[in-house]
Amino acid sequence: DHPDPADDNTATALPRLLDRARQEYRDLAARGLALDLTRGKPAPAQLDLSGELLSLPGARHTAADGTDVRNYGGLQGLPELREIFAEVLQVPAGQLLAAGNSSLELMHDSLVHALLSVLPGAESRWVDQERIAFLCPVPGYDRHFALCERFGIDMIPVPMTDEGPDMDAVERLVAADPAVKGIWCVPKYSNPDGVSYSDATVARLAAMSTAAPDFRIFWDNAYAAHDLTDEPVGIADLLAACATAGNPDRAFVFGSTSKITAAGSGVAFFGSSPANVRWLLANNAKRSIGPDKVNQLRHALFLRDADGVRTHMARQRAVLRPKFDAVARLLEAGLGGTGLATWTAPKGGYFVTLQLTDGGAKEVVRRAAEAGIVLTPAGATHPYGDDPRDAVIRIAPSYPGLAELERAIEGLTVCVRLVGYERRAAAAEGVS
Ligand code: PMP
């Protein structure tokens, strides 16, 4: 009748837990899995929701304003599509550009243009400055960090809170150093931790004093319409807040239909103040005689209006939600009560973040790969790939089928238990 003391005493339970985790890992490795949780790609079932795009715009080649979409021109993009996304991205249609298929490309180009031509409000080109730095809320999106590395922009990590970046740190850093020219923000259902910025965070970003007169917020609203619950999160309107605060040129807003329609053939958007829009258009006029307006027209015909976007996103959610639910259920089943990890329960977006209590993320990713489960490299969520606590693992549940995803998450929890208990055992022996 007596409870096994090993169940209560962590020190004596550990050898058994470790033995079991080792056996489970051997079983896992023997299954010869080939599963991939690396990137936030839509699954084929999600792409099928926009199948109609492949037959649009049909024989039609005239936009609402009479533009022949097959021809050159229309650098700002089709007005009827900009009208639809004005509401989604909180940018007046007249200040919104509809461009190519990738918002990352627009972020890249905005950086290049800021380096090579003087921004509104700037004293000189960024390339003429001795040093340029960006604030990088962490954990964050690896491709933002890759852009900074590509252009020699120093990265200063700032911790995320559950309301967005730590604004005390942000305000201190931007006020102190004119080399700090920008900050990366994914304001809604952030990649990877699912955080949405509070109204207070948005207000402080808009109003804070910056030493650089040409400071820019790179507002990457990639998940603006990507809710996973019945209570969509609303974020404050940054562009309007900047204008009200007397910093009208501070915000660069980005978005795309990559995870609304087709990730490789959607439409990307840039929104900002009239001065910034003129600046970008003038620079873009050198690199293009106009965007793919056929694609823009078919998107406008397919989505119809902002309500059409919401209806479509409800269908996306029906495909995605069961996958996020499965991840939550299996993480709880495999790691609940172990104290080895915590994880996010995002209300939208594309990712679940797993935080290992005592580090070991690199080792977990390595062991998982050896067992046939490929994860985003540990550290990718931090500038220079350096997660100082080696704690964050990003899980991207969208692409695999449900059964495959379930196998991958179960396997991942085995790896977390294995590495977690090994580390505890090593720490107990004082050899960590
Ligand atoms: N920003 C964020 C935060 C993302 O997660 C992604 C896609 N993973 C992108 C941008 C890429 O957007 P696009 O396809 O429009 O280039």
Q: Taking 80 as the threshold, does the pLDDT of residue 24 lie above it?
A: yes
Q: What pLDDT is attached to residue 22? A: 98
Res. 146 pLDDT band, cuts 50 70 90: very high
Residue 27, SS3?
A: helix
Residue 162, SS3?
A: strand
Query: Can you state the angle between helices 10-30 and 402-428, rounded to 10 degrees?
Result: 140
- Phi and psi at residue 94, in whole multiples of 5°? -70, -15
**Rounded Cα gap, residues 65 and 91, in angstroms:** 21
DSSP 44-108: HHHHHTTGGGGG-STT--B-TTS-BTTSS--TT--HHHHHHHHHHHT--GGGEEE-SS-HHHHHH
Q: Taking 60 as the threshold, does the pLDDT of residue 2 lie above it?
A: no
Task: For residue 23, report the distance from its CA to the centre of ligand 1, in Å.
Answer: 39
Rounded mean pLDDT of 371-385? Answer: 96
Decide: 222 in ligand 1 pocket, CB within 6 A.
yes
pLDDT tens track for 82-127:
999 999 999 999 999 999 999 999 999 999 999 999 999 999 999 9
Cβ atoms of 180 and 135 within 8 Å: the answer is yes
Decide: 258 in ligand 1 pocket, CB within 6 A.
yes
Q: Taking 70 as the threshold, does the pLDDT of residue 332 lie above it?
A: yes
- Phi and psi at residue 253, in whole multiples of 5°? -100, 130
Q: What pLDDT is attached to residue 1? A: 40
Rounded mean pLDDT of 324-353? Answer: 98
Interface predicted TM-score (ipTM) of this complex, two decimals: 0.99
DSSP 274-339: HHHHHHHHHHHHHH-S---HHHHHHHHHHH-SHHHHHHHHHHHHHHHHHHHHHHHHHHHHHHTTTS
Cβ atoms of 195 and 233 within 8 Å: the answer is no
Residue with the nearest Cα to atom 8 of ligand 1? 40
**Which residues on neighbouring strands pair with residue 313, listed in sequence order?**
none
Residue 265: DSSP 8-state: S
Q: What pLDDT is attached to residue 431? A: 60
Task: For residue 103, report the distance from its CA to the centre of ligand 1, in Å.
Answer: 7
351 CA: nearest ligand 1 atom: 5
Q: What pLDDT is attached to residue 420? A: 98
* Nearest one of 247, 238, 256 to 187, comparing CA atoms: 238
pLDDT tens track for 95-104:
999 999 999 9
**Ordered domains of the chain (ranges, CATH):** 5-46+310-428 (3.90.1150.10), 61-303 (3.40.640.10)
Ligand 1 mutation pick, 103, 193, 269, max ligand atoms within 8 A of CB: 103
Decide: 102 in ligand 1 pocket, CB within 6 A.
yes
**Rounded Cα gap, residues 63 and 302, in angstroms:** 13
Rounded mean pLDDT of 34-55? Answer: 94
Q: What pLDDT is attached to residue 376? A: 93
**Rounded Cα gap, residues 260 and 263, in angstroms:** 8
pLDDT tens track for 179-213:
999 999 999 999 999 999 999 999 999 999 999 99
Q: What pLDDT is attached to residue 9? A: 55
Q: What pLDDT is attached to residue 8? A: 47
104 CA: nearest ligand 1 atom: 16
Task: For residue 205, report the distance from its CA to the centre of ligand 1, in Å.
Answer: 22
**Rounded Cα gap, residues 43 and 407, in angstroms:** 17
Res. 10 pLDDT band, cuts 50 70 90: low
Task: For residue 141, report the distance from its CA to the centre of ligand 1, in Å.
Answer: 9
Decide: 184 in ligand 1 pocket, CB within 6 A.
no
